[in-house]
Chains A and B, each alone.
Chain A
């Protein structure tokens, strides 16, 4: 589809655009008649660049998708081929017989708990920091900003220490509790609440609603876009989290998808070079995030540019 565009667009469309005065294109920048030919060339180059990069970006996912349905012999012999021949679902059946369903369940439970907790706690704190005038507010805010500046990877050993100290190492709460609050999420919610007109809450307060009531039934329903952003960021963040799960438990019953699938490469399941199995596992763990991504793309794009960034 896009390749077609590169070849047809410049030759048929472009030479005339320079002269058209009311066309869509001429309202863009830089379509003075003199440089029509150069624009055509640039347009062609632009599409060439985009098509090349789309190939670089999409091809690995296509390889992943097709290899998951190949036999290992086929995967090794014809790595470039995007057709599985013979077509087989053996890799998925193999995964189903292993611990994969357990990892998947653990990931779902942890992700749901973390996401629910983050949405609630981040909006509570964000609202207080944006709206409630209480003594010590700026100190709390500074503390949260300072926390945001601590690089996560430094916390591997510290987290293990405190989980052991609290006696919850190797338990479900150890997987969930430390992830419950995300300083960046608090920051996003605070910014959103600051953009809501204050008069609305004043009306509720005059009607005699308490602070929590006002927050819960008046302000929160208005914060839908920000809540969706936080939900997606938390979902994606906890679903893809790896280091925390590595240090929070060692019991194989508590493996999440990321931690479990990571063991596939070290050949713990005797599948170090079983490419269809690893590709099938990678595919299955990508699907939930992909669905959320495509459904809520515009919120994610907004959050991705205002909040945390993965390294």
Chain B
């Protein structure tokens, strides 16, 4: 992608010289295969400071920026984002948060689990440098591990969040990833009900330590329906709910995985009750920004000036019941472009909606592995780098390097690209053939991927490639 960036920059520079900045900033060049976001032909001065679209929270009247900053993919020092030992690049985080706030972003979403447990601290350090009334903080009760599920341990987790974030109240508190586990109801009861944690959180809200209480949801629909039923019956009041919404999940989530629920249903249920929706995975973990050339071509034909990612952001921000759309932005480029997309939001028209629906059909037909690289499955106790394997597989799929037929004229080149890239992206001892199938990861995956099964399929594919060595 660097080469693309350079290309864009130099062209942009050229245009600046030739025709002035106005032309340059509106012209978007070649599609970028950036992981998360669109194109790099954007400079800080191109990003508007006072045009951000805001939505109002009906409960508290908060004016929340449509772009929410997800703090789960923070930049690491040393340039290697895959290095688990690298420290968070605090200087860059500070710079990004300053830029975000300056340009109207005011919602910051973190969790005690993100970035190997280092996200809250980094977020706290960066935000503490700004007045407390300039931003809203969202964090979560991430008591997944059985050892953190007692009331006492969970309370400790909450107090620790306050400490790490250097605040004395949380604006948006979420029960993290409700709907997971082998038996979602049992898991929910275990985490929040049997220990009295939810009641305690309600008390905290009454005491002003929490301003809005909600939950983030993945997985089993029964628990979603159940929690909304409580809301209807007045047992518990949900100030907001965080759901996965994008133009693929709107109608296809169930198609991709039987256990998932279409975003259309989730959103409509919230809208009926006037519960604000917070959107996660607007880009499906970057997959909606990184697509095969033919799909990119379709989108560029429709609008050569819009980045691939901006379509997804506009889509997620269009429904009126959406309070904010979270994006886990690692680099300044992502941040600048996303702010621009929402300054102000240009809602998706019915024609565009129909167009994206067709694009979604094509994406579903790709049959890639629906991994969003969220790393919830990690660390694998046996050292497998699960998301890196899936990311590599999907990348090869999209680049046309997944050729199974030895007679294919492209076979030799594709084989090499897959195998060499595989060794490059994943150390041998962390590759799929070392998965022992213990299935400990399965319950952690919010996308409900049968990880060991997919790894075994990839392992078999790799074996097939290795054993069919086409001699020169």
Are chains A and B native binding partners rather than an unrelated pairing? no
